[in-house]
C-alpha cells in the first residue's frame, strides 16, 4: 500500500505526494484525479524515455482518451525556451486543450520544463510530476517551482505552478548511476540540517542501508525529507521569507557550479556549499567545532566532495554576488544557528566567504 503526504497551498489541501515501489498504482491515482476523458502528454527526455516511457504509457492507456509523448534530448543545456517552444508546437499539433494533462517523467530538467509549459500553455493546464532521480524526488518535484535557464542565468524565467500529483516510485533509484544517485543526497542532508535534527541523526544511523539502496529505507528517507520540504513550502509557497532556508548550501554551491562550467553535479556543489556554510556558522559561534566537523564528514560516505581543487576564492566570491540570492546589494546567506535550525543572515562578509572557500580548497599534503 502506497504511502502519501498531502501538501497544502494557502492552507487548503492541494496535492498528494505518493510514495511507491513501482509504477502500477499511477493509473489509479490518475483516474481518481482526472477520470478517463482527458488526453495525457508524457513529457520526458531521451534517457528516461528508453527506460520507462513504454511502461508508463502502458500503465496509463486505459485511464485516458489518448496518451502521447513529447521526448526531448537529455541534458541540462536543454532547459531553455527552445525546448518549451517545441513542446507548445507539439501540444498544438496534438490539439491539447485546457482539460488535458501533462505528465513530467524524469529528473529536474524534465520537471521544470513540463511545469513551465503547464503554467503557460493556454494560460495553464494540469500537470503531474513523476520524478525519476533522487534530486528531483527529494527537491525539485515538490513546491511548484518551474522554469528554464535564460542567457546563461539559471532558472531566470519561470512560474510557480502547483502539480496535481507527485508520484514517486523509489525503485527507479536503482537504475541511477552512482554519481547521480549520491548527488541527490546533498538536498536530503540539507533538509535534516536546516529543520530536523532527528532526521539528520537518522541519516547518520542508516548510511549503509541508504548506500545499498534498500527500498524500505529509501521510502522512509524520502518521506522524512519531503516532510521538511512540505512544512517549508506550505508556510511560504512563493519564497517571500522562510522558503529561502532551502537555499542552505546554495550560495557558494551555485557559484562553484558556475565556476566548474556545470561539469560538477548540482548535489556535489551543494555538498561543498553546505560545508562552507557550516564553517561560517562555526566561525559565527553558532556551531561548535565538533558539530562543524561532523557535518562536513557526513557527506563522505555518500561519495560527496568536502573539498575541491583549483578554485579561486575571489572568483567564487564574485560569482556569489551575481546569484539571485542578493537583496538590496546584500547577500542573503543561510546559516545554521544549530543543527536542525537554519536562519537567514545578512551579516556574512566577503572575508567570511573567502575564508569558507579557502577551508574547502583542497591542498595536497606537503605543499
Chain Cα centroid distance, residue 195: 17
Give the residue with the Cβ less far from ligand GLY, 71 or 162.
162
Query: What is the grid cell recorded at 89?
Result: 508546437
- Asked if residue 292 lies in contact with residue 278, where contact means CB atoms within 8 angstroms, the answer is yes
CB 143, min distance to ligand GLY, A: 4
CB 354, min distance to ligand GLY, A: 26
CB 348, min distance to ligand GLY, A: 19
Find the residue with minimal CB distance to ligand GLY: 246
- Asked if residue 39 lies in contact with residue 69, where contact means CB atoms within 8 angstroms, the answer is no
CB 252, min distance to ligand GLY, A: 16
CB 285, min distance to ligand GLY, A: 28
Beta strands in 249-331 (DSSP E): 326-327, 330-331
- Asked if residue 165 lies in contact with residue 128, where contact means CB atoms within 8 angstroms, the answer is yes
Give the residue with the Cβ less far from ligand GLY, 38 or 145.
145
Reported for 229-235, long-range contacts at CB under 8 A and 24+ positions apart, including other chains, are 229/138, 229/139, 229/142, 229/143, 229/191, 230/5, 230/7, 230/17, 230/142, 231/195, 232/195, 233/7, 233/142, 233/143, 233/144, 234/7, 234/8, 234/9
Binding residues vs ligand GLY (CB under 6 A):
139, 143, 145, 243, 246
Give the residue with the Cβ less far from ligand GLY, 96 or 106.
106
Give the residue with the Cβ less far from ligand GLY, 249 or 305.
249
Give the residue with the Cβ less far from ligand GLY, 138 or 316.
138
Amino acid at each position: 500500500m502506497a504511502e502519501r503526504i498531502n501538501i497544502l497551498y494557502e492552507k487548503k489541501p492541494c496535492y498528494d505526494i505518493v510514495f511507491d515501489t513501482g509504477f502500477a498504482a499511477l493509473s489509479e491515482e490518475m483516474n481518481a484525479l482526472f477520470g478517463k476523458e482527458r488526453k495525457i502528454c508524457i513529457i520526458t527526455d531521451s534517457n528516461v524515455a528508453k527506460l520507462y516511457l513504454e511502461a508508463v504509457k502502458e500503465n496509463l492507456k486505459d485511464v485516458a482518451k489518448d496518451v502521447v509523448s513529447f521526448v526531448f534530448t537529455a541534458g541540462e543545456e536543454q532547459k531553455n525556451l527552445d525546448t518549451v517552444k517545441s513542446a507548445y508546437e507539439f501540444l498544438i499539433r496534438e490539439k491539447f486543450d485546457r482539460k488535458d494533462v501533462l505528465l513530467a517523467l524524469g529528473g529536474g530538467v524534465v520537471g521544470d520544463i513540463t511545469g513551465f509549459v503547464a503554467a503557460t500553455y493556454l494560460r495553464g493546464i494540469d500537470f503531474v510530476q513523476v520524478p525519476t532521480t533522487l534530486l528531483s524526488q527529494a527537491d525539485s518535484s515538490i513546491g511548484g517551482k518551474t522554469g528554464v535557464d535564460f542567457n546563461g542565468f539559471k532558472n531566470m524565467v519561470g512560474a510557480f505552478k502547483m502539480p496535481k500529483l507527485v508520484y514517486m516510485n523509489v525503485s527507479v533509484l536503482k537504475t541511477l548511476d552512482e554519481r547521480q544517485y549520491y548527488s541527490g543526497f546533498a538536498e536530503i542532508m540539507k533538509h535534516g540540517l536546516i529543520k530536523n535534527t532527528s532526521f539528520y541523526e537518522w541519516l547518520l544511523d542508516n548510511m549503509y542501508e541508504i548506500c545499498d539502496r534498500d527500498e524500505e529505507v529509501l521510502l522512509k528517507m524520502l518521506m522524512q525529507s519531503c516532510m521538511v520540504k512540505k512544512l517549508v513550502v506550505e508556510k511560504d509557497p512563493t519564497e517571500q521569507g522562510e522558503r529561502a532556508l532551502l537555499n542552505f548550501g546554495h550560495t557558494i554551491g551555485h557559484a562553484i557550479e558556475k565556476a566548474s562550467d556545470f561539469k560538477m553535479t548540482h548535489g556535489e556543489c551543494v555538498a561543498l556549499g553546505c560545508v562552507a556554510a557550516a564553517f561560517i556558522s562555526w566561525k559565527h559561534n553558532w556551531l561548535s567545532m565538533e558539530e562543524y566537523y561532523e557535518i562536513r564528514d557526513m557527506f563522505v560516505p555518500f561519495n560527496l566532495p568536502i573539498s575541491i581543487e583549483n578554485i579561486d576564492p575571489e572568483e567564487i566570491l564574485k560569482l556569489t554576488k551575481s546569484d539571485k540570492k542578493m537583496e538590496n546589494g546584500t547577500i542573503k546567506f543561510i546559516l545554521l544557528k544549530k543543527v536542525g535550525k537554519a536562519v537567514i543572515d545578512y551579516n556574512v562578509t566577503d572575508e567570511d566567504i573567502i575564508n569558507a572557500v579557502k577551508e574547502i580548497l583542497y591542498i595536497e599534503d606537503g605543499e
